[in-house]
Structures are given as structure tokens and as C-alpha cells.
Amino acid sequence: MIAIIDYGVGNLRSVEKAFQFLGYEAMTSNDKDFIQKADAVVLPGVGAFADAMSSLKTTGLDELVYQLIDSQKPFLGICLGMQLLFDYSEEGGNPEGLGILRGGIKLIPDRGILKVPHMGWNKLTITKENQLFKDLPVDPYVYFVHSYYLEAADRDNVIGTTTYGIEIDVAVNKGNIYATQFHPEKSGEVGLKILDNFGKIAYKKLI
């Protein structure tokens, strides 16, 4: 079972349905026991960083995330779910994140040329070979919806970038932690392949 953490933010069911379309058992839940027993866990999300952190702390799901990471369970953060794994965000007064990975979430600079928020398809530049991107086409395009971007402190963790006025870190991996700024569940065949790769990582089917 792949558990999708429900902490009161949007974009949960679309992730669940994408995994189910691929043939995986997946369920959205805020039940801690259920999530702990899952084979793999997804932290999705759209919305405000500070509100999301407040929701995680109020429900105690922040402590659950730490436990899941420590247990070496395959873990996937998507969009806001990726950002929350880092130290802080410039959104809403520099709230602290979970601090599991080093780096900050910063506002995409408005230079009067490109629109903010960044919404739409951009090329994913794969910077490091990784199981999450196994068998993807050359120069794949993926779908983004965000105003803030990751600046990772540990460059070894970055496995994908894109360019939107500036170069942006959009995919990371450290041990059992995988995360993307873009939305795989909205990224067509490329996104489904990424989710399928995560499913195969979870069930040790990648070779």
C-alpha cells in the first residue's frame, strides 16, 4: 500500500488516482497507524507553506514524517510537500520547515518578463542518473504550479533542474527521500512513468 498523507491541503485525490491508474494500491489518510504500516508514503500539497506547517504540527503529522524518514521507508514529496522537507521558506515571514533536507524556499524573482506564479510545462533537465527518472525520454517536459522555488544547500541531492528566468532545483533524492517541485500526477505519460518508478522503488522492482 502507498499512503498519501492527508494534512488538510489540496491535490490529494489526483495523486491517489494516478497511483491507482498504474495498478498500485494507494489511499489518502491521516491515520498515523495506517500510514506507518504502508510500504511507501507520499507527502503532496499545494497552498501556503506556513499554513501547511501549522497543519502538520497541529495534527502531529510532522513527528510522523520524521519517523517515516528514519525508518527508511520510501518517501516522495510533491510540490509543497517537497518544499516542507527543507529548512525554511521566504513565504509568509520565513517560517521554518521540517529541516530534513538542507536548503531554503525562495520567491521566484519577478523581472517583468516571466509570469509569477510559474504555471505550465517546462523542460526537466536531469542532472544525475536516478531510479526515479529511469527510462524517461530525452528532455522530458513536466507540469509546474508554484511561486516559490528550492535552492538546495547540498548539491549532491539535486537530481533535476529547470530554467524559469533562473535555474531552479526541481528534484532531489537523499537515501529513501525523493521529492519533486513539479506535479508528476499532472505531467502526462512522463509523470506517470515517474510515479511508476517510485512504486517500483517502493516494492523493490527496479533493477
pLDDT score recorded for residue 10? 66
Q: Which three cell numbers, joined as nine digits, stand for 48? A: 501556503
On the question of pLDDT at 186 being above 80, the answer is yes
- Closest to 130 (Cα-Cα) out of 73, 83, 187, 177: 177
Q: Which three cell numbers, joined as nine digits, stand for 18? A: 494516478
- The answer, yes or no, to whether the previous bond of 117 is cis (omega within 30 of 0) is yes
Instruction: For residues 143-153, give the mean pLDDT.
Output: 96
Instruction: For residues 74-81, give the mean pLDDT.
Output: 97
Distance between CA atoms of residues 172 and 156, nearest Å: 9
Largest CA distance in the chain: 48
Say if CB 168 and CB 161 are below 8 A apart: yes
Instruction: For residues 142-148, give the mean pLDDT.
Output: 95
Say if CB 146 and CB 181 are below 8 A apart: yes
Instruction: For residues 2-10, give the mean pLDDT.
Output: 88
On the question of pLDDT at 207 being above 50, the answer is no
Using CA atoms, how far residue 185 sits from 78, 91, 101, in Å, is: 9, 25, 23
Q: What is the pLDDT of residues 11-69, one digit of tens each?
A: 678 999 999 999 999 999 999 999 999 999 999 988 899 999 999 999 999 999 999 99
Distance between CA atoms of residues 114 and 68, nearest Å: 38
Q: What is the pLDDT of residues 85-119, one digit of tens each?
A: 999 999 988 899 999 999 999 999 876 777 888 89
pLDDT score recorded for residue 11? 66
Domains of the chain, first to last: 2-202 (3.40.50.880)
Report the catalytic residues: 79, 183, 185
User: Roughly what angle, to the nearest 10 degrees, separates helices 13-21 and 188-202?
Assistant: 80
Q: Which three cell numbers, joined as nine digits, stand for 113? A: 518578463
- Give backbone dihedrals phi and psi of 162, rounded to 5 degrees, phi first: -140, 170
Instruction: For residues 133-160, give the mean pLDDT.
Output: 96
- The answer, yes or no, to whether the previous bond of 137 is cis (omega within 30 of 0) is no
- Facing residues of 104 across strands? 88, 151
pLDDT score recorded for residue 45? 85
Tell me what percent of the residues of the chain surpass a pLDDT of 70. 97
Average pLDDT, rounded, for the chain: 94
* C-alpha triplet 153, 132, 95: angle, nearest 5°: 35
